[in-house]
Amino acid sequence: MSDLVLVTGGTGFIGSGLVRELVRAGFRIRVLDDDSRGRSVRLDGIQDGVELVRGDVRDLAAVRRAMKGASAVAHLAFINGTEFFYSKPELVLEVAVKGIVNTLDAAIQAGVGRYYLMSSSEVYQLASRIPTDESVAMSIPDPLNPRYSYAGGKIISELMAINYGRRYFEKTVIVRPHNVYGPDMGQEHVIPAFAIRMQQQMARYASGVIPFEIQGDGRQTRSFVYIDDFVDGCARAFLQGDNLGIYHVGTQEEVAMTTVAELVARACGRQIEVVAGPERAGGTPRRCPDISKVRALGYEPQVSLEEGVRRTVAWYLAQ
């Protein structure tokens, strides 16, 4: 294939994984990223197939320059990490709104045929049905809670992609990731945060059972998907999915946060006693996707949670 795909946010954790998957599939890739959250070193080893353009997705001129000659755009540039939803909600929304407007405008001007959007499982908050399929209503329970800045930005982005997509693009596809994890994903997410805290606790407790505090009582559940599995499913959805299709990519293995903490401890060769801690307002008690739609495209997760946690923890302990 000789198609040129522009990937915004392509030096980020998920973005770089998707870039590698698309390069393997034979696409030429151009990455637009300002490295404010990403790191270009994540693209080491595939530079021959990737053109890296420094730029901010909020800068329309930069987006237009990066869009020239592209036949498709995968828009991933966003402010991720739960900590930032609370501490920088205005920045989260600014990047969300300007990013979707600028990439749509630039893609239309450049005659790009395909628009791919990375959304999030956060659009559901308190899902009415679990496992949750793509038809379940999106919601913002409380506009005064800064956490929902991220979900709000993703909902806005989905609405714009779909409604502009009907008129201006041959194909528009949306992927909603569900708790992607893996090595080098930053420190603001639960598994790396647990790994870093375990390392600190192991320094304090050289032997015996380690007290380990988590948010809430630990009964909250999530379904985690390892990065390698996720980018396989994401690429399948983008390349094989229906026009105006929305696809969950994740796993249907729903696990309690206490289990996740115990898996992290096991990967460190230690035992823990989970201690309930304060819980931030706005979290959801359960999250598990129905992945039937993407499974119909041939997707099937391969990496178990225990193995994925082992790989991830090993990476963080080595840093």
Q: Where are the domains of the chain?
A: 4-180+224-249, 183-222+253-291+303-318
**pLDDT score of 183:** 97
- What would the mean pLDDT of 91-117 be, rounded to a whole number? 98
Contact 308, 261 (CB under 8 A): no
**pLDDT score of 148:** 95
| Tokens 């300007």, residue located | 98
Average pLDDT value for the chain: 95
Which of 92-101, 181-190, 276-285 reaches the highest mean pLDDT? 92-101
Neighbours of 169 (CB within 10 A): 22
**pLDDT score of 2:** 59
**pLDDT score of 50:** 96
Q: What does DSSP assign to residue 138?
A: P
Percentage of the residues of the chain whose pLDDT score is greater than 90: 88
- What would the mean pLDDT of 258-264 be, rounded to a whole number? 97
Which of the listed CATH numbers 3.10.20.30, 3.40.1360.10, 3.40.30.10, 3.40.50.720 matches domain 4-180+224-249? 3.40.50.720
Taking the whole predicted model, whether its pTM rises above 0.75 is answered as yes
Residue 1 pLDDT > 70, yes or no? no
In sequence order, what are the residues at sequence separation of 6 or more whose Cβ sits closer than 8 angstroms to the Cβ of residue 125?
Answer: 139, 140, 141, 148, 151, 282, 284
**Per-residue pLDDT tens digits for 44-73:** 999 888 999 999 999 999 999 999 999 999
- What would the mean pLDDT of 283-292 be, rounded to a whole number? 93
H helices, E strands: number in the chain:
10, 13
Neighbours of 23 (CB within 10 A): 19
Measure CA 17 to chain center. 10
**pLDDT score of 256:** 96
- What would the mean pLDDT of 174-182 be, rounded to a whole number? 98
Give the domain 183-222+253-291+303-318 fold: UDP-galactose 4-epimerase; domain 1 (3.90.25)
**Per-residue pLDDT tens digits for 196-253:** 999 999 999 999 999 999 988 889 999 999 999 999 999 999 999 999 999 999 999 9
Q: How far apart are CA 48 and CA 43, in angstroms?
A: 10
**pLDDT score of 84:** 87
| pLDDT range class, residue 94, cuts 50, 70, 90 | very high
Partners of 214 in the β-ladder: 276
| pLDDT range class, residue 36, cuts 50, 70, 90 | confident
Nearest to 319 by CA among 178, 196, 214: 196
**pLDDT score of 187:** 86
**pLDDT score of 47:** 82
**pLDDT score of 140:** 95
**pLDDT score of 311:** 98
H runs (alpha helix) in the chain: 13-24, 60-67, 82-87, 89-110, 148-168, 190-204, 227-240, 257-267, 292-295, 305-318
